[in-house]
Structure 1
Amino acid sequence: MKSKGACQAVIVLAGMIGAGKSSYTKLIADALGSEAFFESVDDNRILEKFYHDPERWAFALQIYFLNTRFRSIKAALKHQNNVLDRSIYEDALFTRINYEEGNMSDAEMDTYLDLLDNMMEELDGMPKKSPDLLIYLRGSLDTVLSRIAKRGRDFEQIENNSDLLEYYQHLHGQYDHWFSSYDKSPTLVIDIDEIDIEHKADADFVLKTIVDKLEHLA
């Protein structure tokens, strides 16, 4: 399915680590002729350190992500046609999980939340205030873990790392609650247990569903 130029929209992806956000971003951007904003792992000097020592690096990692996501959403909201593979809107969820896991202190959590509030006030002053659509990639923990294993980043693997499995379980258990409280834009849920966009029929179905949703919102 090709629908270049059919819809002008700012779309953000949301979902667990390993849910497929980058793959969906590329699929949607290619089909709609959108600019894609990807969260680079290769440029992140803190991410792997966090997986090895979360108590030491959690606060630094969350500040890094907050800064990069703020930069991306500001750029996206200046235009009308782009897709972000993760956005600032779910950043606080990861920070909250790290705080609950004991990886961040009260002072660090308060500092993060104060900075986030300042950034969200800045977004309220943008000509475009929010995305047109958030797409939540929802799936079981088993599906997410299988996809994490398949993409093969060593530092993300749970073998012989019970703490990391507990972190994934904690994060996954909070995602539906986060989604239920999200109110910045219309939403669309895609069940990644049932849909695999590596299959053309599924990819075409996803694109049609997104286009239909955007046309309904127009």
Structure 2
Amino acid sequence: MPKPVGGSAEKMVQFLQSSVGIIHRSHAESITSFVKDSVHGELKQEGEVPAMQSTKDNRITFCVEGNISVGKSTFLQNIANETVELRDLVEIVPEPVSKWQDVGPGHFNILGAFYAEPQRYAYTFQNYVFVTRLMQEKESSRGIKPLRLVERSIFSDRMVFVRAVHEANWLNGMELSIYDSWFDPVLSSLPGLIPDGFIYLRATPDTCLKRMMLRSRAEEGSVTLQYLCDLHEKHECWLLPSEHGNHRLLSASQLPYSMDKSLHPDIKDRVFYLEGNHMHSCIQKVPALVLDCEPNIDFTRDVEAKRKYALQVANFFEFVKKLKEASSNQIIDTKAKNRQILLPHSEGLFLRDGSHLCESALKPLTF
């Protein structure tokens, strides 16, 4: 049995009790066992892989992000599942809403409880969301289709929703610290949680509110326009270019031609690289495709509109696939197999560890 990341199981249990605040040993042991099993599932069949090596397979993973009721489920069902361009290419991993609505033998609806009493249940809900995403990653990590589309991610949880409930004083500083103490250790043990790209479905808060009212999910009756505006602002801050503050994004259209020529014209001005001090280090320079979901389109009838969106996703997939293949072929070494090509600069390419590949090494690469 391979060891969990960070040392023996006993050390992990001691860490959870002393540093994270998990008082009961049995609780700490069960968490340790879960992480251990998750790591084991990520290891290669022929032997144990060192903790810092990448265990992600050759599939591409995109996380589909966006505000409440922006149309993520519609997008995944009608565009990803029902178009010639994507249906044989993708595996869809929907957000585990049903698990949030039915917890434990008492069938407790933690989603409904959060909306009804956010100050009481914000911390509990966000932690359970985190756990269900880990379970979902484990369950979907061995699919065979080349593209995995995951509805939301632990990064939107942290960058958008946890920030929002903290700023609303529904989640206090101590609870935020405990949440953060989980984030990096678990992320390091499950590198499959780090996507190869993001797809941001974008619409105004007013449009999201109208769609939310139409779908009439029982738990969402108390959601206000102000809350949707707060979530929208945080998505924009995270996934769209900005020249203000300590963060910005670089449009793919600003890339040197040698890198940019592989990006299809239809998405050239819609692809951005995440960058900034506010960004978690593991998603720095990860590309994001921004799609306009403001228009109300009947995808059951408008076949051409459905195909247009599908082609944009397919073109983004091809672009990211080329970046990943170039990374695997040119910069893998025996000490750090998870280094990836991230973003070009004047003298070569940045690598995830901060070093760069010199310009002369790029000559064999073709995009």
2:75 counterpart letter in structure 1: Y
How far, CA to CA, are the matches of 1:104 and 1:135 in structure 2? Answer: 28
Q: Is the 8 Å Cα contact of residues 209 and 225 (structure 2) preserved in structure 1?
A: no
Tell me by how many angstroms 1:23 deviates: 1.9
Matched residue SS, 1:131: coil
Normalising by structure 1, what TM-score? 0.83
The separation in 1 between residues aligned to 2:80 and 2:172, in whole angstroms, is: 39
Give the letter for the 2:95 counterpart.
E
Q: 2:188 aligns with which of 107, 121, 139?
A: 121
Counterpart-to-counterpart distance in 2, 1:204 and 1:195: 15
Alignment of 1:33-44 (within 5 A): 33=88, 34-44=90-100
Secondary structure in structure 2 of the residue aligned to 1:102: coil
Alpha-carbon separation, structure 2, partners of 1:210 and 1:59 = 34
**Residue identity opposite 2:306 in structure 1:** A
Report the TM-score, using the length of structure 2 for normalisation.
0.51
What's 1:28 paired with? 80
CA distance in 2, matches of 1:91, 1:25: 19
Matched, 1:103 2:149: no
The alpha carbon displacement at 1:137 in A equals 0.5
Q: Is this contact kept in 2: 1:46–1:61, CA < 8 A?
A: yes
Flag structure 2 segments of 5+ consecutive residues without an equivalent.
1-58, 101-108, 241-278, 323-367
The one-letter code matched in structure 2 to 1:28 is: A
Mark the CA change 1:10 to 1:76 in structure 2 (over 3 Å): closer, same or farther.
farther
Quick check: 2:64–2:198 contact (8 Å CA) kept in 1? yes
1:175 deviates by 1.2
Which residue of 236, 242, 253 maps to 1:176?
236
Q: Tell me, yes or no, if the aligned pair for 2:239 and 2:288 is still in contact at 8 Å.
A: no
Task: Give 1 or 2 for the bigger CA radius of gyration.
Answer: 2
Q: Secondary structure at the match of 2:211?
A: helix
Structure with more helix by fraction:
1
**Residue among 298, 317, 320 paired with 1:214:** 317
Which residue number corresponds to residue 189 of structure 1? 290
Unaligned ranges ≥5, structure 1: 1-7
Q: CA deviation at 1:91?
A: 0.9
Question: What is the CA deviation profile of residues 50-96 of structure 1, one whole-angstrom value per residue up to 9, with x for unaligned ones?
Answer: 11100011001100111111232344455443211111121112011
For 1:172, the aligned partner's letter is H
Other-structure match for 1:155: 219
- Relative contact order (C-alpha < 8 Å, sep 6+): which is higher? 1
Assess if the C-alpha contact under 8 Å between 1:130 and 1:184 holds in 2: no
CA contact 1:25–1:84 (8 Å) conserved in 2: no
Given that 1:69 and 1:86 are in contact with CA atoms closer than 8 Å, whether structure 2 keeps it comes out as no
1:90 aligns with one of 142, 156, 162: 156
Separation in 1, partners of 2:285, 2:125 = 24
Matching residue's letter, 1:71: M
- 8 Å CA contact 2:199–2:288 kept in 1: the answer is yes
Give RMSD over aligned pairs.
Answer: 2.2
1:24-46: CA deviation from partner (whole Å, max 9, x where unpaired): 22231453332221123233120
Map Cα deviations across residues 113-157 of structure 1 (whole Å, 9 max, x no partner).
Answer: 111122222234x5xx73233100011111111111111113313
Of stretches 106-115 and 130-139 in structure 1, the one that deviates more from structure 2 is: 130-139
Identity of aligned residues (%): 27
AA at the equivalent of 1:98: V
Counterpart contact for 1:21–1:137, Cα < 8 Å: yes
**Aligned partners of 1:173 and 1:23: how far apart in 2?**
22
In structure 1, the residue matched to 2:70 is 19
* Farther off after superposition, 86-95 or 46-55: 86-95
